Amino acid sequence: MCNFLGEDSPEHLIFSANATDSLNTLIHGFVASQKEKIHVLSTTLEHNSVLRPLHYLTKQDKISVDYVPFHDSIVNPEKITEAVTSKTQLVVMNHGSNVLGSVQDIRAVCEYLHDKGIFSIVDGSQTAGHILIDLSSINPDAFVFTGHKALFGMPGIGGFYIRDPEQVIPVRMGGTGSDSGNLDQPVDLPERYEIGTHNYPGIASLIAGVNFIRATGMKKMKEKAEQQTRFMIDELSAESAITIYNHKPDLPIIALNISGLDNDDVGFILARKDNILVRTGLHCAPFVHQAIDNGAGCVRISLSWFTTDEECRIATDAIKEIAHHANHTI
């Protein structure tokens, strides 16, 4: 797993329950290690797995936060450097948006933060498995992943890679199977953060998923995803009643709305009439939706390696059919 992320120190790879669990460990652990209130930067692309811990810590008066806005689905790295203040100690940002499918230039951001001595946490939930990740060259202080998305693991497994554990205090303590006579949490990795019984089936599934990606070839998988995403966006863009929020996503994610119909109704119709499952609503990313659809939410289509061309055609036709029939009222 560590090697898959482009690193060669497996003890720095920590398994957790999921990306949210990892982000909580990192955010709370970093803030707990600070002697005084700090300034944190994040972006309006973030998921609630970042927003809620930051909101909680703001209410506790342990941090102040500014959110750098995105434009055309992208957070300009320069906007982050401009927002850094003398009190900024932490930046948390996602690598890929779970709503817009855009991938951020984290290399530029992390390089700048590294030079400034600001701790960086990158949420790679949407990118790990979809695109090649080489942490040794990107150089974030911590990188978070989840197992159940593009890494083909079971739900309930995730983790993070951390470069310098001294900067993140463990916020949960417990049994590690090592140094059991000592009531202090071990300082060694991975025991510093990995407590209690591991999710062995989850870890095994994650490694099987990674091996599957290697055997299949990430390039081949990426090309197929891009071709299918392009096909769907081109087809759906031709419909005037359909709004697509990012016409050039880097990931196989399509966010849309149909005018005259609630996004939840579109999801209901697709599920009941066509057996097509999409995710509707806010996708745990309220700031993204405030920016793109006034907080109303949208329909999100996510494609996988296992999605066939035929399924893409069927889904496209089903969405177009709904758009054709929208706005009829009795």
Partner 1 sequence: MRIIRSNRHKYCADGSFMKEFVLDSEVTPEFLDFLKRFGTLEMLPGLGEGFYKFEKKDCFSIKGFVNESGFEVRFKKEVMDFTSDFLYSLLYYYQNGKPDFKTLSRREEALIERVKTRLYGSSS
Smallest distance, partner 1 to C-beta of residue 232, A:
20
Closer residue to partner 1 (CB): 35 or 328: 328
Residue type, 254: I
**Total residues in contact with partner 1, by rule CB under 8 A:** 17
Instruction: Provide the minimum distance between the beta carbon of 42 and partner 1 in the complex, in angstroms, as a whole number.
Output: 21
Distance CA 9, CA 222 (A): 27
* Binding segment toward partner 1, per CB under 8 A, in 22-30, 67-75, 144-152, 318-326: 318-326
Which residue number, 90 or 318, has a Cβ lying nearer to partner 1? 318
Is residue 66 within 8 A of residue 41, CB to CB? The reply is yes
Contact 158, 17 (CB under 8 A): yes
Q: Which region among 56-64, 151-159, 162-170, 262-270 touches partner 1 (by CB under 8 A)?
A: 262-270
Q: How many C-beta neighbours within 10 Å does residue 234 have?
A: 11
* Kind plus residue range of the DSSP H or E element containing 120: strand 119-123
**200 lies in the site for partner 1, by CB under 8 A:** no
As a whole number of angstroms, the longest Cα–Cα distance in the chain is 74
> Does residue number 294 form part of the binding site for partner 1 (CB under 8 A)?
no
**Least distance (Å) between residue 279 CB and partner 1:** 11
Measured between alpha carbons, how far is 220 from 217 in angstroms, rounded to an integer? 5
- Closer to partner 1 at the Cβ: 55 or 87? 55
- Residue selected from 84, 222, 241, 281 as contacting partner 1 according to rule CB under 8 A: 281
Closest separation in Å from C-beta 274 to partner 1? 9
Cα angle: 147, vertex 300, 67; to 5 degrees = 75
Residue 269 C-beta: closest distance to partner 1, Å: 6
Q: At CB < 8 A and 24+ separation, what contacts does 286-289 make? A: 286/48, 286/51, 287/44, 287/45, 287/46, 287/51, 287/67, 288/44, 288/45, 288/70, 288/97, 288/99, 288/100, 289/99
- Binding partner 1 by CB under 8 A: which of 66, 111, 293, 321? 321
Q: Is 156 in the site for partner 1 (CB under 8 A)?
A: no
55 contributes a contact to partner 1 by CB under 8 A: no
Q: Check binding of 219 to partner 1 (CB under 8 A).
A: no
- 288 sits near partner 1 (criterion: CB under 8 A): no
Residue 37, φ and ψ in degrees, nearest 5: -60, 135
Q: Is 272 in the site for partner 1 (CB under 8 A)?
A: yes
Distance of CA 275 to the CA centre of its chain: 26
Asked if residues 72 and 100 have their Cβ atoms less than 8 Å apart, the reply is no
Q: Which is nearer to partner 1, 90 or 269 (CB)?
A: 269
SS3 assignment, position 244: strand
Is 6 among the residues that bind partner 1 (CB under 8 A)? no
Of 273, 277, 308, 317, which one interacts with partner 1 (CB under 8 A)?
273
Chain residues in the site for partner 1 (CB under 8 A): 264-265, 268-269, 272-273, 281-282, 297, 321-322, 324-326, 328-330
